[in-house]
Structure 1
Amino acid sequence: MSDTSSSARPRRPLARPGFDPATQPWVVANESLPPVPTSLLTPDSLRGTLSQPSTWTLELSRDNDLRYPGREGTPVPAAVLIPLVTRDEGVHIMLTQRAAHLHDHAGQISFPGGRIETSDATPVAAALREAQEETGLPANHVEVLGSMPPYLTATGFSIIPVVSLVRPGFELAPDAFEVAEVFEVPLSFLMDPANHRLYEARLDDGRVRQYYGMPYGKYFIWGATAGMLRNLYHLLRHGFTPR
């Protein structure tokens, strides 16, 4: 999520987890759940699923009840783009690694996105703008499929995920101030619950924080990004499994 802000906007207190999220105890999350079949992860199937009303159940954020100090109160409206890139070898999800010096979610794996500004006509417009600013992804390569319900974070954001297909042939120009790296992960890997871990960390005040993690090679996808991917799984799963 973009760290850019208006000079008139007060800066909120720094938010850091206070533990290494990758080294906490974990279990496989709901190992009995099936993977989404690869036949339903094609561009046409994704268009069909996202165009239909769904009765899928939102998996509540495990972060919202454990807000960081100074991040309480009304959540900040934000939007992210979930870019599904249509490669010859299958659909991939584009992700970014945020720069280590940023105020919010420093060094974490995230979708391109950020605050919804007053100049943004809609959350979709905000997601497209932020994606272009952060990564250089041109809007004319993006086909918006739909939006998911807001995801509430411990850092005090209410994020609307905007799911999109991205036509290949684009050239990226990441903003080095905000983005350390842009990379892709096969959608089939992330839509298999066998790759979803549920971590548990005990905080200094005795409370326990639970969060999802999805390690992929050298990348540790966790927190809000993993939570939104988990909800994307539930959304796509209803393309073949009734609840």
Structure 2
Amino acid sequence: MSAKEDLERLVSVPPGERLSIRERERWRFEGLEMDSLRRAAVLLLFGPLDAAPAHAHSTAVPDDLDVLLIERAGTLADHPGQVAFPGGGIDPGDAGPEAAALREAVEETGLDASGVDILGTLPDIPLSVSRFMVTPVLAWWTLPSPVAVVDFNESAQVFRIPVADLLEPANRYTSVLRRAGTIHRGPAFTVNDLVVWGFTATLLSHLFDELGWAQEWDRSREIPAPLPPGRPEDARRQ
């Protein structure tokens, strides 16, 4: 089965028959008033790798498979400096989360929307700090187009990461966030000299598990959740 077929299979499973992140990470969302959260969507865009080769090899996925990510600007109020999927708030004029995720991706990366095939959505995920209810939208890049930062007030960089490098056990860690006297731990990846953690890493880790792509990795290897320059420890966001 191809990577695209794996993704299509995942979104075709009825919601009641698959374990959502909300069920796996229930402790993160305790006490949230779901009806008060703002709606948002992110685009999980997979496709054929660009000219930069993968550094690792995986038996679960082709070496020429990648995913589109951005590094958010360090001046943003929500999740500053973090590696993220393209996406943002769902506007009244959007036809739904799929349209919103694709629109935001075009605005942030300049990709050509006509080359993107929307496969479907995953269950909504609430974010406790930024107070968004996020719909992950899975997509396949049928005709990849050039991407770059469109607005440096929003993004610091745009890049495509080989999925094999994310799956490489040597690139996987447990992130440690100390906030208000509490320690939070979650999955993390190291790519492009950056640490992918928080919501993005949790969603990637969950997705890889559900797809059967994940390799065994050492969860005892810890890495601090990074802060943007000048941010006090209690300002860390997930």
Between the aligned partners of 1:148 and 1:72, the Cα distance in structure 2 is 17
Q: Which runs of 5+ in 2 are unaligned?
A: 51-62, 214-238
> In the alignment, which residue of structure 1 is the partner of 2:236?
none
User: Greater RCO between the two (CA within 8 Å, min separation 6)?
Assistant: 1
- Superimposed CA distance per residue, residues 195-226 of structure 1 (whole angstroms, 9 cap, x where no aligned partner): 4433333323x222223211124021010101
Corresponding position of 1:51: 12
SS in 2 for 1:228: helix
Aligned to 2:159: 183
Root mean square deviation, CA, Å: 2.9
What amino acid is aligned across from residue 94 of structure 1 in structure 2? L
* 1:88-144 Cα deviation digits (max 9, x unpaired): 752101100111111211111000000111111111011011011111111111111
Q: TM-score, normalised to structure 1's length?
A: 0.70
- Which residue is equivalent to 1:60? 25
More moved, 146-155 vs 129-138: 146-155
Counterpart residue type for residue 105 of structure 1: H
Q: 165-174 vs 155-164, which deviates more? A: 165-174
List per-residue Cα deviations over 1:57-91 (Å, max 9, x = no partner): 12226643498xxx998221110000102237521
Identity %: 32
Cα 1:170–1:118 shift into 2, 3 Å: same
> Aligned in 2, Cα 1:162/1:192: closer, same or farther, shift over 3 Å?
farther
Structure-2 change in CA distance of 1:215 and 1:41 (3 Å): farther
Structure 1 segment 158-177 matched on structure 2, within 5 A: 158-176=133-151, 177=153
Mapped partners of 1:151, 1:137: distance in 2 = 25
Q: State the match for 2:227 in structure 1.
A: none
* Greater helix share, structure number: 2
Relative to structure 1, the CA distance from residue 62 to residue 230 in structure 2 (aligned partners, 3 Å threshold; closer, same or farther) is: farther
Indicate how the Cα distance of structure 1 residues 191 and 148 shifts in structure 2: closer, same or farther if over 3 A, else same: farther
Residues 96, 110 of structure 1: alpha-carbon distance in 2 compared, 3 angstrom cutoff: same
Aligned to 2:74: 100
Flag the 1:123–1:193 CA change in 2: closer, same or farther, 3 A.
farther
CA shift, 1:44, in A, is: 3.7
Which residue among 45, 48, 63 is the counterpart of 1:86? 48
Secondary structure in 2 matching 1:215: strand
Give TM-score scaled by structure 2 length: 0.71
Contact 2:39–2:133 (8 Å) recurs in 1: yes
- Among 94, 98, 103, which residue is 1:124 paired with? 98
In 2, Cα distance between equivalents of 1:63 and 1:109: 20
In structure 2, give the amino acid aligned to 1:75.
L
Q: Pick one of 107, 110, 115 that aligns with 1:141.
A: 115
Gaps of 5+ in 1: 1-39, 239-243
Counterparts of 1:194 and 1:41 in 2: how far apart (Å)?
25
Tell me, in whole angstroms, the C-alpha distance in 2 between the residues paired with 1:99 and 1:201: 20
AA of the residue aligned to 2:193 = K
Aligned residue for 2:7, secondary structure, equals helix
What one-letter code is carried by the residue in structure 1 that aligns with 2:122? M
The one-letter amino acid of 1:81's match is: L
* Structure 1 SS opposite 2:48: strand
- The 2-side partners of 1:173 and 1:76 are apart by 27
Structure 1 residue 193 displacement after superposition? 6.4
